[in-house]
Chain A
Amino acid sequence: GAVVSQHPSRVICKSGTSVKIECRSLDFQATTMFWYRQFPKQSLMLMATSNEGSKATYEQGVEKDKFLINHASLTLSTLTVTSAHPEDSSFYICSVAYTEAFFGQGTRLTVV
């Protein structure tokens, strides 16, 4: 199955700064990757679909100018949380669709 590597696994940043999260498909060329967010005791919620070489598709209620997605190659998608605020603190996780959905290890973001 596909191996997905996500980095960093944990980050603490100050309010107002930006944070970049990387998602790499190590053994599978992924034209599409997916970004999810999970708040404590809540379900995973799809934020956006990342498309290689084109603009990402955002789910309703997700600000595209705040959550910048870049999918410049078939093995790398990045999510940048811009001007982070404490309410952005969450567990962010990416996935690649292959025979099933394979997930990265997730990034726990804490904004202080």
Chain B
Amino acid sequence: RKEVEQDPGPFNVPEGATVAFNCTYSNSASQSFFWYRQDCRKEPKLLMSVYSSGNEDGRFTAQLNRASQYISLLIRDSKLSDSATYLCVVGYGGSQGNLIFGKGTKLSVKP
């Protein structure tokens, strides 16, 4: 059974804090990994792809551990605008559309 599991949160953090989200996936055949951001009542938008070597984009760092089937997202120096739901997403097959979504982790950054 294909599953992507995340802690739903909410994570309530002050501005400037560092926060980490974790995600596990059950199917070892997964081929692609992403973090998407979804604001309330809006469509998901790609935050970053996740690679085995780890990747960083400004304040955001993503890590993938294929052996443990584990994905993480680290946000440094949190901003108010980071408040959203973060979706862990796993892709199967060659198509970028065949995606399995986690339920998301809600982040709320407070002043």
Contacts and interface: CB of A to CB of B under 8 A. Distances in A.
Contact of A101 (B41, B96, B102): B96
B96 A43 contact: no
Q: How extensive is the interface on chain A, given as a class?
A: 20 to 34
A96 B97 CA distance: 7
Interface in B90-109: 95-104
Given A44-B101, A100-B46, A108 B96 contact: no
Contact of B43 (A34, A46, A98, A105): A105
Given A42-B103, A100-B46, A100-B49, A108 B95 contact: no
Main secondary structure of the interface of A (DSSP, over half): strand
Contact of B102 (A33, A43, A46): A43
B44 A44 contact: yes
Given A32-B95, A32-B97, A101-B97, A43 B104 contact: yes
Interface residues of B, number: 20
Given A100-B49, A104-B43, A43 B99 contact: no
A42 B104 CA distance: 8
A42 to B, nearest CB: 6
Contacts of B102: 43
Interface string A42-62: 111110010000000000000
Interface of A: 32-34, 36, 41-46, 49, 91, 93, 95-101, 103-106, 108
